[in-house]
Structure 1
Amino acid sequence: MRITRITDLDHPALADYRRLTDVALRRVTEPEGGLYIAESSKVIERALRAGHVPRSVLMTDRWLADIEPLVADLEGEIFIGDAALLETLTGYHLHRGALAAMHRPALPELADVLAGARRVVVLEDIVDHTNVGAIFRAVAGLGADAVLVTPRCADPLYRRSVRVSMGTVLQVPWTRLPDWPEGGELLRAAGFEVAALALSDDAVPLDAYAADPPERVALLLGTEGDGLSRAALRSSDVVVTIPMLHGVDSLNVAAASAVALWALRVPAATVEGR
């Protein structure tokens, strides 16, 4: 990569980094433009390790020694500028030091993601990027195999999702799932029981369900506030709930995912021997 020191914001390649705080704009342009933004040297390193290719990198001087060895053999451009100029460009202070405009990899086929998997998480229409990133981190840390997202779910490769996940969205297999009822039919055809995490009079307590879980479970999580849609609940095989105390009816969806994944975890020895 060649190094370019910027003193103004006229370079055409800098358009990738403009108006990063406008969520609605990024949600449209990132998927269609085939790019996502990786933030921080750790996330950039994970993206490169996953085989993702940067178009360019943007940073202040102090991060050059960390980033340049990671991308030295790749094509593209490293843009270096002072902190005030980069803040004007991006709309916020680059306290994590570096951004990379990464080419978005093609999503894998659903069958390939599900092959050999025993625990997958399905995100229905979760629109908060922070929650999406936190769920990916729980999936990676607690040993689930993949994440599936419905058509209206927030983009896992949005900058905030990647950052909150600590880059695990770049290592956890994921792809899009068709809407209901097709999505549920595809999961059952692949051998999964669809377990909806929701409040219901006939819900099975999580500890009871986890005592004798099916071999393959697709854990279905709903959007903040409204929870799972009626179509999603109709497409599920069982409703599971986390018993709560002190008048609290539910947890934040990311926290709930971690609790459920811990309860339904596959023994480590089984995972390592798979």
Structure 2
Amino acid sequence: MLEYVTDPGDPRLSDYTRLRDVELRKSLEAERGLFLAEGEKVIRRAVGAGYPIRSVLTTRRWLTSLQDVLGDATVYVVSDEIMSGIAGFQVHRGALASMERLPLPSVETLLKGLKGGPRRLLVLEDLVDHSNVGAIFRSAAALGVDAVVLSPRCADPLYRRAVKVSMGAVFSIPYARMDDWFRGLEQLREAGFRTLALTPDQSATPLEAAARSERVALLLGAEGDGLSSHWLEEADEAVCIPMSASAMAAGVDSLNVVAAAAIACHGLMRPAAP
């Protein structure tokens, strides 16, 4: 159903106009159970993953390209000027969609669904940068990680920036959020996962040498601070990505968390040495 809107203050656009402030967004997302998807490709991936569309905000020139995925959703059509004003920048990918969230599984339910064969988890502790979370989900989805577990304070993968950076990968990999950070690793071990704490400390075991277990959960900490001392102590083993001697000599002793996650995901997917 098409509705043409000429006033950016129209209450019908409240999902888009009221969610621009970060704190307001957090409260409204929890209250309404919604998130925003930006761009044709991301909207298609969200719909394909089963997320219902509440409404779509777009301009005339993008109606045809989105028509096959919109169904009977309400589509608010606005001018390019209003679209840019609401989004806060020029939207080059055509549309914003207000999507309904799906129920998030518990960690227990998520782990029970990972049956049979080698399994690989990423466990993110207190990553609060949404761009980093989105980029890590993109690497995890591309490199065969089976699921992601978030600590209670980790950033929301369905926050608009995380969804955008991930290019919709947050819809293709299952995830859950821990209720209990302090005992969260115990639950992973009880499910048969060996917990590996990624650290820049080059005295730790090289990742590939430690990642040969059938079920591995790789722990990643926030940019800068890294993993908490509690998780480092609780993990089954500390692991590192070996750095070259020349890099170390030049003072380059670590990678940012996104680069480290991508390399680590690739290391996890490699077959064990004979």
TM-score by structure 1 length?
Answer: 0.90
Please tell me whether the aligned partners of residues 180 and 232 of structure 1 are also in contact (alpha carbons under 8 angstroms): no
Please tell me whether the aligned partners of residues 106 and 178 of structure 2 are also in contact (alpha carbons under 8 angstroms): no
Which moves more between the two structures, 125-134 or 25-34? Answer: 25-34
Q: Deviations over 1:185-222 (max 9, x none)?
A: 10001000110101347511223324xx1110111000
Inter-partner Cα distance in structure 2 for 1:60 and 1:130: 26
Residue identity matched to 2:191: A
Inter-partner Cα distance in structure 2 for 1:180 and 1:50: 28
Inter-partner Cα distance in structure 1 for 2:239 and 2:31: 36
Please tell me whether the aligned partners of residues 135 and 166 of structure 2 are also in contact (alpha carbons under 8 angstroms): yes
Q: Does 1:243 align with 2:242?
A: yes
Inter-partner Cα distance in structure 2 for 1:203 and 1:128: 26
Inter-partner Cα distance in structure 2 for 1:252 and 1:85: 37
Inter-partner Cα distance in structure 1 for 2:27 and 2:205: 39
Identify which of 104, 114, 117 aligns with 1:116.
114
**What does 1:29-40 align with in structure 2 at a 5 Å threshold?**
29-40=28-39
Identity of aligned residues (%): 51
Which moves more between the two structures, 24-33 or 113-122? Answer: 24-33
Residue in 2 aligned with 1:231?
A: 230
Q: Does 1:87 align with 2:91?
A: no
Please tell me whether the aligned partners of residues 122 and 148 of structure 2 are also in contact (alpha carbons under 8 angstroms): yes
Please tell me whether the aligned partners of residues 202 and 243 of structure 2 are also in contact (alpha carbons under 8 angstroms): no
Please tell me whether the aligned partners of residues 123 and 220 of structure 1 are also in contact (alpha carbons under 8 angstroms): yes
Residue in 2 aligned with 1:70?
A: 69
Which moves more between the two structures, 39-48 or 243-252? Answer: 243-252
Identify which of 101, 105, 109 aligns with 1:104.
101
**What does 1:253-272 align with in structure 2 at a 5 Å threshold?**
253-265=257-269, 267=271
4+ residue runs of structure 1 moved beyond 6 angstroms? none
Residue in 2 aligned with 1:153?
A: 154
Please tell me whether the aligned partners of residues 194 and 218 of structure 1 are also in contact (alpha carbons under 8 angstroms): yes
Residue identity matched to 1:103: E
Inter-partner Cα distance in structure 2 for 1:31 and 1:223: 24
**What does 1:209-228 align with in structure 2 at a 5 Å threshold?**
209-210=210-211, 213-228=212-227
What SS is found at the alignment partner of 1:264?
Answer: helix
Residue identity matched to 1:100: A
Inter-partner Cα distance in structure 2 for 1:152 and 1:140: 22
Q: CA RMSD in A?
A: 1.7
Q: Report the alpha carbon displacement of residue 261 of structure 1 after superposing the two structures with TM.
A: 1.2
Please tell me whether the aligned partners of residues 132 and 156 of structure 1 are also in contact (alpha carbons under 8 angstroms): yes
Residue in 2 aligned with 1:270?
A: none
Q: Report the alpha carbon displacement of residue 266 of structure 1 after superposing the two structures with TM.
A: 5.5
Residue in 1 aligned with 2:127?
A: 126
Report the count of equivalent residues.
262
Q: Report the alpha carbon displacement of residue 56 of structure 1 after superposing the two structures with TM.
A: 0.4
Please tell me whether the aligned partners of residues 59 and 79 of structure 2 are also in contact (alpha carbons under 8 angstroms): yes
Unpaired runs of at least 5, structure 2: none
Q: Deviations over 1:209-250 (max 9, x none)?
A: 24xx11101110001111111122122111101112322121
What SS is found at the alignment partner of 2:269?
Answer: coil
TM-score by structure 2 length?
Answer: 0.90
Q: Report the CA distance shift for 1:201/1:248 in structure 2 as closer, same or farther (over 3 A).
A: closer
